[in-house]
Amino acid sequence: MIRLTNLYKIYNQSLQNEFVALKNINLHIKNKECVVLKGVSGSGKSTLLSIIGGMNKPTSGEALIENKAIAKLPDLHLSNFRAKSIGFVFQSFHLIENLSVYDNVTVPLIPHQKDTEQITQMVNNALQIIKIDHKKNDLAKNLSGGEKQRVAIARALVNNPNIILLDEPTANLDIANSQNLITILQDLKQLGKTVVIATHDTIFDDLDFVDKIVHIQNGEIVE
Ligand SMILES: Nc1ncnc2c1ncn2[C@@H]1O[C@H](COP(=O)(O)OP(=O)(O)OP(=O)(O)O)[C@@H](O)[C@H]1O
Ligand SMILES: [Mg+2]
């Protein structure tokens, strides 16, 4: 469950370059819903997604994620919570280029002190769900954009979080790979994940597994 109440984000508050990036955001996303945050460049999508993901704090208002007021959690609790509950897929993937696909996907498991057998099982499972296991020994730097995207999603999924957040997941993909991504999102929804996508891509406009499209304009939700 994600519940945002009267949420504001003001960058550079009280400075000359103060900028209100989010204004009075009220949003409720139920468990297992798939929601698209839609808006033009600069409208505040990434800011909103990063607050939901606990990577950015609101200036005021409340962000309840799985019943936790994440902005108020002490840092250690926040990072534990994020590691357990949230998978984040960055627009530019942020893979470690000189590591293999397999090793990239193990990264989120490092703090969890699991045994090798468990790690192998979890990584292989994530790679299979995303259908990238055939590339598991390849270095990230040798993958295509679409393949990198899949590895980034496998990494977000490996810890079995309830919530998966994706920032502009089709921005670096061609049409064919964008269609593949849509299929993966549908699979995530079927796995019971709560999926939130920030995008300006019209490919998300008419998908039957999308429960809600939230339009954002100048930092505000508009109908
Ligand atoms: N750290 C920051 N400091 C100051 N201003 C910021 C910061 N981060 C974002 N902004 C501003 O907030 C606004 C919203 O940015 P955000 O990245 O959320 O937009 P977006 O909708 O994701 O855009 P895009 O589609 O280009 O990714 C922009 O005008 C941006 O310049
Ligand atoms: Mg953005």
Q: What is the full DSSP assignment across 110-151? A: GGG---HHHHHHHHHHHHHHTT-GGGTTSBGGGS-HHHHHHH
145 found inside a domain: yes
Q: Within a 10 A sphere around the Cβ of 134, how many other Cβ atoms?
A: 11
Cα 131 to ligand 1 centre (Å): 33
What CA–CA distance (Å, rounded) separates 8 from 23?
5
Tokens representing 203 are 């490919």
Q: How many domains does the chain have?
A: 1
In a domain? residue 1: no
Give the ligand at the shortest distance from the Cα of 13.
Answer: 1
**Is residue 68 a part of any domain in this protein?**
no
Cβ atoms of residues 56 and 198 within 8 Å: no
Mutate to test the pocket of ligand 1, among 22, 25, 43, 50 (most ligand atoms within 8 A of CB): 43
Question: Pocket residues for ligand 1 (CB within 6 Å)?
Answer: 11-12, 19, 21, 39, 41-47, 200
- Paired with 11 in beta bridges are 19
pTM for the model stands at 0.94
pLDDT tens for the chain, residues 1 to 223: 999 999 999 999 999 999 999 999 999 999 999 999 999 999 999 999 999 999 999 999 999 999 999 999 998 899 989 989 999 999 889 999 999 999 999 999 987 778 899 999 999 999 999 989 999 999 999 999 899 999 999 999 999 999 999 999 999 888 988 999 999 999 999 999 999 999 999 999 999 999 999 999 999 999 7
| Domain span including residue 163 | 34-57+80-222
CATH number at residue 43: 3.40.50.300
